[in-house]
Structure 1
Amino acid sequence: MRPLSLSAIVLTLFLALPGVAPLAAQLPPYGGAHEFVEDLAQRREATARALGADTVLILWSAPRRVYSADTDYEYRQESNLLYLTGFDEPDTALVLVPGPEGHREFLFVRAKDPFEELWNGPIPSIEEVSARTGIEQVFPQDGTEAFDAFFRGWLGEADETDASQAARAGRSVAPRPGTPVRLMVLGGPPVDLDDVRQREWVTALAGRRPQTTIADARPILQRLRRVKTPYEQRVMRRSVEIAAEAHIEGMKVTRPGRWEYEVEAAIEAHFLRSGAMSWGYPSIVGSGPNATVLHYVKSTRQMQDGELLLVDAGASFQGLTGDVTRTWPVNGRFSPEQRDIYEIVLAALEAGIAAAVPGGTVTAITDAVREQLWRGLLRIGLVVDTDSARNRRAQLDLWFPHGPVHGIGIDVHEPVGELTPGVTFVVEPGIYVRPERLALLGDDPELAAIADRIRPAVARYAGIGVRIEDSLLMTPAGPEIMSAKAPKTVEAIEAIVGTGP
């Protein structure tokens, strides 16, 4: 039997106290708090190994963002910090220091503040933070004083008279004089003033110690996050299952004369009833012409008889998000033209899933999807045959203007790479017939002639938008369709739409 870590013992004792319920910043982790904490520890250990010796990883929490005046948006943690700590509180920083005898980890958090807690709820104690994250060295602070003291100790600027626990912790992992050290932080263009200030701080820190450089930690973290742990796979399955069930609820309440927002309300109510405390991305609920808008999020149109409704909605459950899209007829029956487009897209989805194999590539899926779409569009006259690869690509891009594959996880759009077992991803073909896109073929005589030839078919299918998207988990045996519960055959959809209250 594997011995319990100190953090696991603290967690067990804490939850055993009379009147202590599971920690409430998120619902109890799927599979139990102990299993979640152990998984977080394994993620940090894998990160330390990937970083290598003589590095220091520094991650900051996301800032609070103002919605209006003195009202903030619902808080969303920075994804990489969430991946390594599971901690969803603002004003947090993680320092991870790999070493020859194992890594050391330090977490800096908000100190308890009765006034803040009166208005916004409890701030976790040091014991609660350790229980939730598995990190034993936690330093509360009112501002950045503990964080600053830690790095004074790390730099050797805090002498032995500095009684700060944080300074002593910094001294305990200080590099040997003359040793080259890399400070690992998130790279890429800064997105807000907090990013700018943090980078200025890191630059100044590196300037205070010879042979200290700054490197981007993002590629390493992306590579680690790409392959989900067995624990993450379980949570992801449930997240996608919730989304699939929500699509069924949306189908049930759809009927002519109702509004898009009524369908959105049914979907997102199911998220909450199922323990998914928010959506993973703003829900797309687009009827009629709105189904041809890739990221339509207003949900303000009244649905009409004879139209399609395209819904792209995913739940965030325990920090993990799937991505599911279904398209269905508002009145419960596909018209011949709608069915033509729908069955082409469904065939492309099935071809893409069939092309997904362990160790395979995104390119193979993309090629399979595009080839199947081309064949279907050729059959109904929305493209014409040509020996020119350029002209073929230009035609297909009119009606299918996006890629069919992306990764999913903590973020709804993540890198995919090789389809290693444990990778979670989507396949999402679509066709969006917007007649004005014919103008994109330009003045080239050959392309102009093609536009004239396909114009009658464009008029016939104008305004139809269909996307079908499944969330998948690659296993050693092939892709597991996590969103299989959401109906996608014509017959299954027509049997459900409009059957609810």
Structure 2
Amino acid sequence: MISNCELRNANCELSSVKRPKFAIRISHFATRLACAFLIAASLAISAAAAADLPTDLQQRRARFMENLGSESMLILWSAPMRVYSNDVDYEYRQDSNFYYLTAIDQPESILVLMPGNRTRKEILFVKPRDPVREHWEGQRLSPEKAVHESGISTVYLTTEFEPFLNAVLSGRPYGSGSSEQDFAPFFTALRNNKAQIAVVGPPPGASGQLPESYVFVNKLRERFSGLQMRDVTRIFRDLRLIKTDYERSLLEESARISSEAHVAGMKAARPGAYEYEVEAAIEYTFKKNGADWGYPSIVASGPNATILHYQKSSRRMENGDLLLVDAGSAYKYMTVDITRTYPINGKFTEAQKDIYDVVLRAQEEGIKAAKMGARLSDVHQRTVEVIKDGLFKLGLITDTSGNQYQTWYTHNACHWIGIDVHDVGDRNRPLADGMAFTIEPGIYIRPEILNSLPKTAENEAFARKIQPAFEKYKNIGVRIEDSFLITGGTLKRLSASVPRTTEEIEALMRSR
């Protein structure tokens, strides 16, 4: 919001050039053979990626435990079910941190990590099987299946979680065949009043409401001695910022699917159609590729394009409208973010092109600034400089030294992407290998903005001076957004296959 996979798109059609029948038969055979080879290769790649997940999960947990330390116990809960209406729930979506360490996609599960243990450093608790509930809700993971899915070898039922805590927090070992030596570092920390219960907050500050995880630890501290609370939000933030090789492969596939979906949306847009028809074409493409939306799709035509998170998708598109589409697929819990803005009749007007070209130049300059060692703020600032200059030349601001540009450019140009579309991570970290982020400048000429400015002499003078340009460009909203990954020390635009320049867009729209 705010990939080319040649195997999938291999062209297996015969040339239209006339040839002898025998040659055509050979060509058909060779073509079928080539297609079969490409399909087999694609399946092999998918199987290899699946095989990499257990190893990747083990490495993620190992890195987390290195940061956690031997005197700590992490307790991490799965996300709860959320009610949509009455007795109907939303489709389940796992807590991002829980999924990052387990790949378990079901509720009522708990992860415990104890880095200091000699054995059983990783313990997963899953809900007991229940034939009645499974009849209504679907099959739950058995402990054996949970071992296979997560790579965690010690799996208990959630009915054992409280007995586990009662034993371990009282300094007694838990589990068949375990001894005090298996828990020695944590038990020593308990006796020395240094044992830490690690949870995810985020920290609520001095007056904010306590997260449920904090409340839980406070109750433990009332019942067991030697405990301290530790918030490990920062560890997740730092680890998730650097994508593993496995995660990078999923991001690339999410980008491939999302790019295909954007092209499908462009082909569905036309005067007289409704925004939801474009949204349907996009999300159908997600579904047919085994993905889902990573965030509610934004399909905003005409004046709706000036609303950053417009979600109704209900307007009938008119000839001469621009359509702003911000949509990205979630593929195996990895999400990219792509935005394109294009004329539904296939041809930019002069005014639309004026705004579009400024935004495109800003993104191009932002891409140049996104070098190893730079920060997201450096990238954003470069887009600001370009947009200031462009708005001034168009007559939409009168001064490039101040913040007038924020009237029309109202958001930051960059955010991290990953398990969450606005993924966690320190924005001040220098760009490094494995980081994934967006560059998304935008200009939004909202018709009501001048009337909403504070009534000062300065603002009134500003509004008078830019009135002619405002009338020319009002109701135009343009955002251009691509997803990027730093890999091998270079910047890769994951969404490069989606038409982006005015020439590319108009060419695709003519081919519909």
What's the offset of the Cα at 1:122?
A: 1.3
Aligned to 1:208: 223
The question of whether the paired residues in 1 share the 8 Å contact of 2:200 and 2:213 is answered with: no
TM-score (norm 1): 0.87
AA partner of residue 372 (structure 2): P
Identify the residue that residue 236 of structure 1 maps to in structure 2: 251
What is the CA deviation profile of residues 123-145 of structure 1, one whole-angstrom value per residue up to 9, with x for unaligned ones?
1111111011000001123xxx3
Match of 1:492 among 494, 504, 509: 504
User: For structure 1, which runs of at least 5 residues remain unmatched after alignment?
Assistant: 1-27
The one of 274, 287, 292 aligned to 2:289: 274
Matched, 1:44 2:39: no
* Alignment partner of 1:265 out of 280, 304, 321: 280
Secondary structure of 2:415's aligned partner? strand
Preserved CA contact (<8 Å) 1:150 1:169? no
Deviation at 1:167, TM superposition (A): 11
Return the offset for 1:435. 2.9
Alpha-carbon separation, structure 2, partners of 1:462 and 1:352: 25
- Render the CA deviation track for 1:139-184: whole Å, top value 9, x for unaligned: 123xxx31101111111276x8xxx748969994352222501211
Q: Which amino acid aligns with 1:133?
A: S
- Paired residue type of 1:75: Y
Equivalent residue number for residue 490 of structure 2: 478
Give the alignment of 1:76-475 within 5 angstroms.
76-99=93-116, 104-141=121-158, 145-156=159-170, 165=175, 172-173=182-183, 174-176=186-188, 177-188=191-202, 197-276=212-291, 278-385=292-399, 389=401, 392-393=402-403, 395-414=404-423, 415=425, 416=427, 417-475=429-487
Q: Which amino acid is the alignment partner of residue 265 of structure 1?
A: A
Determine if contact 2:200/2:231 at 8 Å carries over to the other structure: yes
Q: What's the CA shift for 1:385?
A: 2.9
Q: 1:93 to 1:488 in 2, by over 3 A?
A: same
After superposition, what is the alpha-carbon deviation per residue over 1:94-148, rounded to whole angstroms, capped at 9, x for unaligned? 001112768701001111111111112211111111011000001123xxx3110
CA distance in 2, matches of 1:167, 1:71: 44
Judged with a 3 Å threshold, the aligned counterparts in structure 2 of structure 1 residues 407 and 460 are, in CA distance, closer, same or farther, namely: same
Moved more, 235-244 or 402-411: 235-244
1:71 aligns with 2:108: no
Aligned partners of 1:247 and 1:171: how far apart in 2? Answer: 57
- Say which SS state the counterpart of residue 384 (structure 1) adopts: coil
Give the secondary-structure state (helix, strand or coil) at the position aligned to 1:95: strand
Q: What letter corresponds to residue 318 of structure 1 in structure 2? A: K
**In structure 2, what is the Cα distance between the partners aligned to 1:252 and 1:436?**
32
Aligned partner of 1:458: which letter?
Answer: F
Q: Secondary structure at the match of 1:249?
A: helix
| Matched-pair contact (CA < 8 Å) for 2:371–2:491 | yes
Query: CA-to-partner distance for each residue in 1:384-409, whole Å, 9 max, x for gaps?
Result: 135xx4xx21x110101100010000
Match of residue 72, structure 2, among 46, 51, 55: 55
Is 1:238–1:317's contact at 8 Å kept on the other side of the alignment?
yes
**Structure 1 partner of 2:26:** none
Counterpart of 2:416, as a letter, is: G
Aligned to 1:23: none
Q: 1:462 to 1:56 in 2, by over 3 A?
A: same
Contact in 2 for aligned 1:324/1:471 (Cα 8 Å) = yes
TM-score normalized by the length of structure 2: 0.85
**For residues 189 and 230 of structure 1, do their structure 2 counterparts lie closer, same or farther at Cα, with a shift above 3 Å needed?**
same
Residue 46 of structure 1 and its aligned partner are, at CA, apart by 0.3
AA aligned opposite 1:271: F
Distance 1:319 1:375 in 2: 39
2:320/2:344 contact within 8 Å kept: yes
Q: How far did residue 477 of structure 1 move? A: 3.3
Residues 366 and 405, structure 1, Cα contact 8 Å, conserved in 2: yes
Q: 1:11 maps to what in 2?
A: none
- CA shift at 1:497, angstroms? 2.5
RMSD of aligned residue pairs (Cα, Å) = 2.2
In 2, Cα distance between the equivalents of 1:170 and 1:186?
Answer: 28
